Amino acid sequence: MTTVAIFGVGLIGGSIALSLKGRPDMRVIGYSNRPSSVEKYMQRGVVDYATTSKREAAEQADFIFLCVPVGNLEENLRELGEFNLKPGCIITDVGSTKATIMACARTLELGEAVFIGGHPMAGSERSGVEAASYHLLENAYYVLTPDEKTPAEAVERLTELLTWTRANIVKVDAIAHDEIVGAISHLPHMIAVSLVNQVRGYSEGNGLYESLAAGGFRDITRIASGDPVVWRDILINNRTVLLELLRDWSMETAKFADMLEREDGEAIKEAFEKAGAFRSRMPERRKGVILSAYDCYVDVPDHPGIIGKITSELGNSRINLSNIQIIESREDVPGVLRLSFRTQEDLDQAMLLLAGSGFEVHV
Protein backbone atom coordinates (compact mmCIF):
# COMPACT_ATOMS: atom_id res chain seq x y z
CA MET A 1 0.00 0.00 0.00
CA THR A 2 1.38 3.40 -1.04
CA THR A 3 0.41 6.26 1.26
CA VAL A 4 0.37 9.85 0.01
CA ALA A 5 0.04 12.72 2.50
CA ILE A 6 -1.09 16.11 1.27
CA PHE A 7 -0.54 19.17 3.44
CA GLY A 8 -3.05 21.76 2.29
CA VAL A 9 -5.91 20.15 0.40
CA GLY A 10 -7.00 23.19 -1.60
CA LEU A 11 -7.26 23.68 -5.35
CA ILE A 12 -3.90 22.08 -6.26
CA GLY A 13 -3.59 19.69 -3.32
CA GLY A 14 -7.19 18.58 -3.72
CA SER A 15 -6.76 18.03 -7.46
CA ILE A 16 -3.66 15.90 -6.87
CA ALA A 17 -5.59 13.96 -4.22
CA LEU A 18 -8.50 13.31 -6.58
CA SER A 19 -6.16 12.07 -9.31
CA LEU A 20 -4.55 9.59 -6.90
CA LYS A 21 -7.46 8.54 -4.68
CA GLY A 22 -8.91 5.15 -5.52
CA ARG A 23 -5.86 4.00 -7.49
CA PRO A 24 -4.74 0.43 -6.86
CA ASP A 25 -3.05 0.05 -3.46
CA MET A 26 -3.06 3.80 -2.86
CA ARG A 27 -4.20 5.70 0.23
CA VAL A 28 -4.44 9.49 0.37
CA ILE A 29 -4.23 11.36 3.68
CA GLY A 30 -5.11 15.05 3.98
CA TYR A 31 -3.70 17.32 6.66
CA SER A 32 -4.96 20.65 7.98
CA ASN A 33 -4.54 22.32 11.35
CA ARG A 34 -8.24 23.29 11.21
CA PRO A 35 -10.79 20.63 12.27
CA SER A 36 -13.41 22.25 10.02
CA SER A 37 -11.15 21.73 6.98
CA VAL A 38 -10.46 18.11 7.92
CA GLU A 39 -14.21 17.53 8.13
CA LYS A 40 -14.71 19.20 4.76
CA TYR A 41 -12.07 17.02 3.07
CA MET A 42 -13.84 13.87 4.26
CA GLN A 43 -17.34 15.13 3.47
CA ARG A 44 -16.32 15.91 -0.10
CA GLY A 45 -14.56 12.57 -0.52
CA VAL A 46 -11.33 14.19 -1.69
CA VAL A 47 -9.10 12.04 0.56
CA ASP A 48 -9.36 8.63 2.19
CA TYR A 49 -8.48 9.97 5.62
CA ALA A 50 -7.85 13.40 7.12
CA THR A 51 -6.18 14.54 10.31
CA THR A 52 -5.14 17.63 12.26
CA SER A 53 -1.87 15.92 13.26
CA LYS A 54 0.99 16.81 10.93
CA ARG A 55 3.18 14.15 12.50
CA GLU A 56 0.56 11.44 12.05
CA ALA A 57 0.13 12.24 8.37
CA ALA A 58 3.86 12.58 7.68
CA GLU A 59 5.08 9.46 9.44
CA GLN A 60 2.66 7.21 7.54
CA ALA A 61 3.56 8.62 4.13
CA ASP A 62 5.63 7.28 1.27
CA PHE A 63 5.09 10.61 -0.51
CA ILE A 64 4.42 14.02 1.05
CA PHE A 65 3.07 16.94 -1.01
CA LEU A 66 3.52 20.38 0.57
CA CYS A 67 0.64 22.31 -1.00
CA VAL A 68 1.03 25.37 1.20
CA PRO A 69 1.79 29.01 0.27
CA VAL A 70 5.35 29.75 -0.87
CA GLY A 71 5.93 31.79 2.28
CA ASN A 72 5.22 28.72 4.48
CA LEU A 73 7.20 26.10 2.56
CA GLU A 74 10.52 26.34 4.42
CA GLU A 75 8.81 26.23 7.82
CA ASN A 76 6.92 23.07 6.85
CA LEU A 77 10.00 21.41 5.39
CA ARG A 78 12.06 22.10 8.53
CA GLU A 79 9.30 20.65 10.67
CA LEU A 80 9.28 17.44 8.61
CA GLY A 81 12.97 17.04 9.45
CA GLU A 82 11.95 16.58 13.11
CA PHE A 83 9.64 13.65 12.35
CA ASN A 84 10.43 9.95 12.02
CA LEU A 85 9.79 9.74 8.28
CA LYS A 86 9.79 6.45 6.40
CA PRO A 87 13.11 5.51 4.76
CA GLY A 88 12.90 6.56 1.11
CA CYS A 89 9.97 8.94 1.72
CA ILE A 90 9.76 11.51 -1.07
CA ILE A 91 8.82 15.07 -0.13
CA THR A 92 7.77 17.50 -2.83
CA ASP A 93 6.02 20.86 -3.06
CA VAL A 94 3.85 22.75 -5.56
CA GLY A 95 5.26 26.27 -5.18
CA SER A 96 5.83 28.54 -8.17
CA THR A 97 9.40 29.36 -7.08
CA LYS A 98 11.97 26.62 -6.75
CA ALA A 99 15.54 27.87 -6.10
CA THR A 100 14.91 28.97 -2.49
CA ILE A 101 13.14 25.81 -1.33
CA MET A 102 15.72 23.60 -3.06
CA ALA A 103 18.50 25.51 -1.30
CA CYS A 104 16.69 25.14 2.02
CA ALA A 105 16.30 21.38 1.52
CA ARG A 106 20.05 21.02 0.97
CA THR A 107 20.72 22.50 4.43
CA LEU A 108 18.34 20.16 6.28
CA GLU A 109 18.82 16.71 7.73
CA LEU A 110 15.84 14.75 6.42
CA GLY A 111 17.19 11.32 7.33
CA GLU A 112 16.57 8.87 4.52
CA ALA A 113 13.85 11.06 3.00
CA VAL A 114 14.42 12.94 -0.27
CA PHE A 115 13.12 16.37 -1.30
CA ILE A 116 12.31 17.07 -4.97
CA GLY A 117 10.91 20.47 -5.91
CA GLY A 118 7.74 20.52 -8.00
CA HIS A 119 5.51 23.04 -9.74
CA PRO A 120 2.26 21.98 -11.45
CA MET A 121 1.63 24.78 -13.95
CA ALA A 122 -2.15 24.86 -13.85
CA GLY A 123 -4.82 26.64 -11.89
CA SER A 124 -8.36 27.94 -11.85
CA GLU A 125 -10.22 31.19 -11.39
CA ARG A 126 -11.60 29.57 -8.24
CA SER A 127 -9.74 28.45 -5.13
CA GLY A 128 -10.11 26.04 -2.23
CA VAL A 129 -10.92 22.36 -2.06
CA GLU A 130 -14.36 23.11 -3.55
CA ALA A 131 -12.62 23.98 -6.82
CA ALA A 132 -10.43 20.84 -6.88
CA SER A 133 -10.88 18.74 -9.99
CA TYR A 134 -9.74 15.32 -11.19
CA HIS A 135 -8.97 16.95 -14.57
CA LEU A 136 -7.16 20.10 -13.38
CA LEU A 137 -3.63 18.93 -14.15
CA GLU A 138 -4.47 16.95 -17.27
CA ASN A 139 -2.19 18.06 -20.17
CA ALA A 140 -0.62 20.77 -17.99
CA TYR A 141 3.15 20.99 -17.54
CA TYR A 142 4.31 19.63 -14.19
CA VAL A 143 7.89 20.77 -13.53
CA LEU A 144 10.24 18.80 -11.27
CA THR A 145 13.54 20.35 -10.15
CA PRO A 146 15.88 17.61 -8.90
CA ASP A 147 19.53 18.55 -8.52
CA GLU A 148 22.72 16.60 -9.14
CA LYS A 149 22.51 14.94 -5.70
CA THR A 150 18.91 13.77 -6.05
CA PRO A 151 18.78 9.97 -6.39
CA ALA A 152 17.59 9.02 -9.88
CA GLU A 153 15.46 6.27 -8.36
CA ALA A 154 13.54 8.84 -6.30
CA VAL A 155 12.91 11.04 -9.33
CA GLU A 156 11.66 8.00 -11.23
CA ARG A 157 9.29 7.03 -8.42
CA LEU A 158 7.82 10.53 -8.15
CA THR A 159 7.49 10.78 -11.93
CA GLU A 160 5.67 7.45 -12.01
CA LEU A 161 3.28 8.59 -9.27
CA LEU A 162 2.55 11.84 -11.08
CA THR A 163 1.56 10.03 -14.28
CA TRP A 164 -1.79 9.51 -12.52
CA THR A 165 -2.38 13.29 -12.80
CA ARG A 166 -2.09 12.96 -16.63
CA ALA A 167 0.22 16.00 -16.61
CA ASN A 168 3.28 16.40 -18.84
CA ILE A 169 6.26 15.91 -16.54
CA VAL A 170 9.38 17.94 -17.34
CA LYS A 171 12.64 18.23 -15.38
CA VAL A 172 14.27 21.66 -15.12
CA ASP A 173 17.07 23.17 -13.07
CA ALA A 174 15.59 25.16 -10.16
CA ILE A 175 17.34 28.42 -11.05
CA ALA A 176 16.35 28.12 -14.71
CA HIS A 177 12.76 27.42 -13.61
CA ASP A 178 12.61 30.63 -11.58
CA GLU A 179 14.07 32.67 -14.43
CA ILE A 180 11.56 31.29 -16.95
CA VAL A 181 8.50 31.46 -14.71
CA GLY A 182 9.60 34.89 -13.54
CA ALA A 183 9.51 36.12 -17.14
CA ILE A 184 6.29 34.42 -18.28
CA SER A 185 4.24 34.76 -15.09
CA HIS A 186 5.67 36.87 -12.27
CA LEU A 187 6.73 39.82 -14.44
CA PRO A 188 3.38 39.96 -16.33
CA HIS A 189 1.54 40.03 -12.99
CA MET A 190 3.64 42.97 -11.82
CA ILE A 191 3.13 44.81 -15.11
CA ALA A 192 -0.64 44.24 -14.94
CA VAL A 193 -0.81 45.53 -11.35
CA SER A 194 1.33 48.56 -12.23
CA LEU A 195 -0.80 49.37 -15.28
CA VAL A 196 -4.07 49.10 -13.36
CA ASN A 197 -2.71 51.26 -10.55
CA GLN A 198 -1.49 53.84 -13.08
CA VAL A 199 -4.97 54.08 -14.58
CA ARG A 200 -6.51 54.05 -11.10
CA GLY A 201 -4.44 57.14 -10.31
CA TYR A 202 -5.67 58.90 -13.46
CA SER A 203 -9.23 57.90 -12.61
CA GLU A 204 -9.13 59.75 -9.31
CA GLY A 205 -9.11 62.97 -11.34
CA ASN A 206 -11.38 61.84 -14.15
CA GLY A 207 -13.96 59.08 -13.70
CA LEU A 208 -14.07 58.40 -17.43
CA TYR A 209 -10.86 56.38 -17.12
CA GLU A 210 -12.68 53.82 -15.00
CA SER A 211 -15.81 53.87 -17.16
CA LEU A 212 -13.97 53.44 -20.45
CA ALA A 213 -11.46 50.88 -19.13
CA ALA A 214 -14.03 48.08 -19.40
CA GLY A 215 -13.79 45.41 -22.08
CA GLY A 216 -10.33 44.93 -23.54
CA PHE A 217 -8.44 46.77 -20.78
CA ARG A 218 -10.14 44.67 -18.15
CA ASP A 219 -9.33 41.50 -20.09
CA ILE A 220 -5.63 42.16 -20.61
CA THR A 221 -5.17 43.10 -16.95
CA ARG A 222 -7.27 40.32 -15.40
CA ILE A 223 -4.21 38.77 -13.74
CA ALA A 224 -3.92 41.91 -11.59
CA SER A 225 -6.74 40.44 -9.49
CA GLY A 226 -4.55 37.69 -8.01
CA ASP A 227 -4.50 36.98 -4.28
CA PRO A 228 -2.40 39.82 -2.75
CA VAL A 229 -0.86 37.67 0.02
CA VAL A 230 0.02 34.81 -2.33
CA TRP A 231 1.66 37.20 -4.79
CA ARG A 232 3.48 39.10 -2.05
CA ASP A 233 5.23 35.88 -1.02
CA ILE A 234 5.97 34.75 -4.59
CA LEU A 235 7.49 38.06 -5.68
CA ILE A 236 9.63 38.48 -2.58
CA ASN A 237 10.83 34.89 -2.86
CA ASN A 238 11.88 35.40 -6.50
CA ARG A 239 13.07 38.98 -6.02
CA THR A 240 16.62 38.51 -7.39
CA VAL A 241 15.29 37.22 -10.72
CA LEU A 242 12.53 39.82 -10.84
CA LEU A 243 14.81 42.78 -10.20
CA GLU A 244 16.84 41.79 -13.25
CA LEU A 245 13.67 41.25 -15.30
CA LEU A 246 12.37 44.68 -14.28
CA ARG A 247 15.62 46.25 -15.43
CA ASP A 248 15.21 44.50 -18.79
CA TRP A 249 11.58 45.63 -18.95
CA SER A 250 12.63 49.24 -18.31
CA MET A 251 14.99 48.95 -21.28
CA GLU A 252 12.15 47.64 -23.48
CA THR A 253 9.84 50.51 -22.52
CA ALA A 254 12.71 52.97 -23.06
CA LYS A 255 13.03 51.64 -26.62
CA PHE A 256 9.39 52.54 -27.27
CA ALA A 257 9.86 55.97 -25.75
CA ASP A 258 12.81 56.52 -28.07
CA MET A 259 10.80 55.38 -31.12
CA LEU A 260 8.03 57.82 -30.24
CA GLU A 261 10.40 60.71 -29.63
CA ARG A 262 12.00 60.09 -33.03
CA GLU A 263 8.58 59.44 -34.64
CA ASP A 264 10.09 56.23 -36.02
CA GLY A 265 7.01 54.56 -37.45
CA GLU A 266 9.04 51.85 -39.17
CA ALA A 267 10.66 50.78 -35.89
CA ILE A 268 7.26 50.65 -34.16
CA LYS A 269 5.86 48.55 -37.00
CA GLU A 270 8.86 46.21 -36.81
CA ALA A 271 8.43 45.81 -33.04
CA PHE A 272 4.81 44.73 -33.50
CA GLU A 273 5.76 42.38 -36.35
CA LYS A 274 8.46 40.63 -34.28
CA ALA A 275 6.16 40.30 -31.28
CA GLY A 276 3.32 38.99 -33.43
CA ALA A 277 5.54 36.42 -35.13
CA PHE A 278 6.90 35.10 -31.82
CA ARG A 279 3.46 35.03 -30.18
CA SER A 280 1.95 33.13 -33.13
CA ARG A 281 4.42 30.29 -32.52
CA MET A 282 3.24 29.81 -28.93
CA PRO A 283 0.81 26.94 -28.22
CA GLU A 284 -2.61 28.56 -28.28
CA ARG A 285 -4.66 26.38 -25.98
CA ARG A 286 -2.22 24.53 -23.77
CA LYS A 287 -2.52 24.76 -20.01
CA GLY A 288 0.14 27.05 -18.66
CA VAL A 289 1.22 29.05 -15.64
CA ILE A 290 -1.20 31.86 -16.52
CA LEU A 291 -4.76 30.67 -16.97
CA SER A 292 -6.22 30.67 -20.45
CA ALA A 293 -9.50 32.46 -21.03
CA TYR A 294 -12.16 30.41 -22.76
CA ASP A 295 -14.60 33.18 -23.68
CA CYS A 296 -16.95 33.94 -26.53
CA TYR A 297 -19.26 36.87 -27.27
CA VAL A 298 -22.87 36.56 -28.35
CA ASP A 299 -24.88 39.37 -29.97
CA VAL A 300 -28.42 39.21 -28.65
CA PRO A 301 -31.55 41.29 -29.21
CA ASP A 302 -33.08 43.04 -26.22
CA HIS A 303 -35.95 40.54 -25.85
CA PRO A 304 -37.37 39.25 -22.57
CA GLY A 305 -36.09 35.75 -21.74
CA ILE A 306 -33.24 35.74 -24.27
CA ILE A 307 -30.53 35.13 -21.64
CA GLY A 308 -32.59 32.33 -20.12
CA LYS A 309 -32.93 30.74 -23.56
CA ILE A 310 -29.17 30.75 -24.12
CA THR A 311 -28.33 29.33 -20.70
CA SER A 312 -31.05 26.68 -21.05
CA GLU A 313 -29.70 25.54 -24.42
CA LEU A 314 -26.22 25.21 -22.94
CA GLY A 315 -27.53 23.38 -19.88
CA ASN A 316 -29.65 20.99 -21.93
CA SER A 317 -26.52 20.06 -23.89
CA ARG A 318 -24.56 19.60 -20.63
CA ILE A 319 -22.12 22.38 -21.49
CA ASN A 320 -20.70 23.86 -18.31
CA LEU A 321 -20.93 27.67 -18.26
CA SER A 322 -18.59 29.17 -15.65
CA ASN A 323 -19.56 32.85 -15.96
CA ILE A 324 -21.82 35.21 -17.89
CA GLN A 325 -21.54 38.98 -18.27
CA ILE A 326 -23.87 41.46 -19.93
CA ILE A 327 -21.54 43.92 -21.61
CA GLU A 328 -24.14 46.16 -23.20
CA SER A 329 -27.91 46.18 -23.43
CA ARG A 330 -29.80 49.29 -24.49
CA GLU A 331 -33.00 49.81 -26.39
CA ASP A 332 -31.21 51.05 -29.51
CA VAL A 333 -28.15 48.75 -29.32
CA PRO A 334 -28.08 44.93 -29.45
CA GLY A 335 -26.91 43.35 -26.23
CA VAL A 336 -23.59 41.55 -26.00
CA LEU A 337 -23.06 38.62 -23.68
CA ARG A 338 -19.65 37.35 -22.70
CA LEU A 339 -19.83 33.65 -21.91
CA SER A 340 -16.92 32.03 -20.06
CA PHE A 341 -16.11 28.32 -19.96
CA ARG A 342 -13.55 26.20 -18.14
CA THR A 343 -12.24 24.24 -21.11
CA GLN A 344 -11.61 24.73 -24.81
CA GLU A 345 -13.90 21.78 -25.52
CA ASP A 346 -16.83 23.44 -23.74
CA LEU A 347 -16.17 26.69 -25.60
CA ASP A 348 -16.06 24.97 -29.00
CA GLN A 349 -19.28 23.04 -28.33
CA ALA A 350 -21.06 26.18 -27.09
CA MET A 351 -20.10 28.19 -30.16
CA LEU A 352 -21.35 25.47 -32.52
CA LEU A 353 -24.60 25.09 -30.59
CA LEU A 354 -25.38 28.80 -30.41
CA ALA A 355 -24.40 29.48 -34.02
CA GLY A 356 -26.67 26.60 -35.04
CA SER A 357 -29.50 28.27 -33.11
CA GLY A 358 -29.09 31.47 -35.12
CA PHE A 359 -27.01 33.56 -32.73
CA GLU A 360 -24.07 35.67 -33.88
CA VAL A 361 -21.12 34.24 -31.95
CA HIS A 362 -17.53 35.48 -32.05
CA VAL A 363 -14.30 35.38 -30.00
pLDDT band for position 341 (50/70/90)? confident
**What was the pLDDT predicted at 126?**
65
3-class DSSP assignment, residue 127: coil
Instruction: Say if residue 64 is in the same domain as residue 137.
Output: yes
Q: Which of 256, 284, 308 is the last residue of a domain?
A: 256
Helix (H) or strand (E) run with residue 305 in it: none
Q: Which of 172, 192, 223 is the last residue of a domain?
A: 172
Window from 30-34, 54-58, 243-247, 335-339 with minimum mean pLDDT = 335-339
Say if residue 331's pLDDT is above 80.
Answer: no
Q: Which of 133, 151, 172 is the last residue of a domain?
A: 172
Say if residue 115's pLDDT is above 60.
Answer: yes
Give me the sign of the Cα torsion angle 245, 246, 252, 258: negative
Does residue 283 belong to any structural domain of this protein? no
Q: What are phi and psi of 82, to 5 degrees?
A: -90, -10
Instruction: Say if residue 157 is in the same domain as residue 20.
Output: yes
The answer to whether residues 1 and 120 touch, using CB atoms and an 8 Å cutoff, is no
Instruction: Say if residue 63 is in the same domain as residue 151.
Output: yes
pLDDT band for position 329 (50/70/90)? very low
Instruction: Say if residue 166 is in the same domain as residue 19.
Output: yes
Residue type, 249: W
Mean per-residue pLDDT, 294-302 = 76
CATH number at residue 352: 3.30.2130.10
Nearest to 145 by CA among 170, 103, 120, 174: 174
- pTM > 0.85: yes or no: no
Instruction: Say if residue 70 is in the same domain as residue 9.
Output: yes
Instruction: Say if residue 29 is in the same domain as residue 100.
Output: yes
Domains held by the chain: number: 3
Say if residue 312's pLDDT is above 50.
Answer: yes
Instruction: Say if residue 102 is in the same domain as residue 10.
Output: yes
Instruction: Say if residue 76 is in the same domain as residue 222.
Output: no
Helices (H), 213-358: 216-220, 228-237, 239-261, 265-280, 306-316, 344-356
Say if residue 330's pLDDT is above 80.
Answer: no
Overall residue count recorded for the chain in this entry: 363
Instruction: Say if residue 9 is in the same domain as residue 133.
Output: yes
Instruction: Say if residue 151 is in the same domain as residue 251.
Output: no
Does residue 199 belong to any structural domain of this protein? yes
pLDDT digit string (tens) for 249-265? 999 999 999 999 999 99
Does residue 287 belong to any structural domain of this protein? no
Instruction: Say if residue 223 is in the same domain as residue 143.
Output: no
CATH number at residue 66: 3.40.50.720
Does residue 327 belong to any structural domain of this protein? yes
Say if residue 324's pLDDT is above 50.
Answer: yes
Between the alpha carbon of residue 215 and those of residues 219, 234, 328, the distances in Å are 6, 28, 10
The answer to whether residues 58 and 84 touch, using CB atoms and an 8 Å cutoff, is no
Helix (H) or strand (E) run with residue 322 in it: strand 321-330
State the residue range of the domain holding 22.
Answer: 2-172
Instruction: Say if residue 217 is in the same domain as residue 129.
Output: no
Window from 28-37, 283-292, 326-335 with minimum mean pLDDT = 326-335
pLDDT band for position 164 (50/70/90)? very high
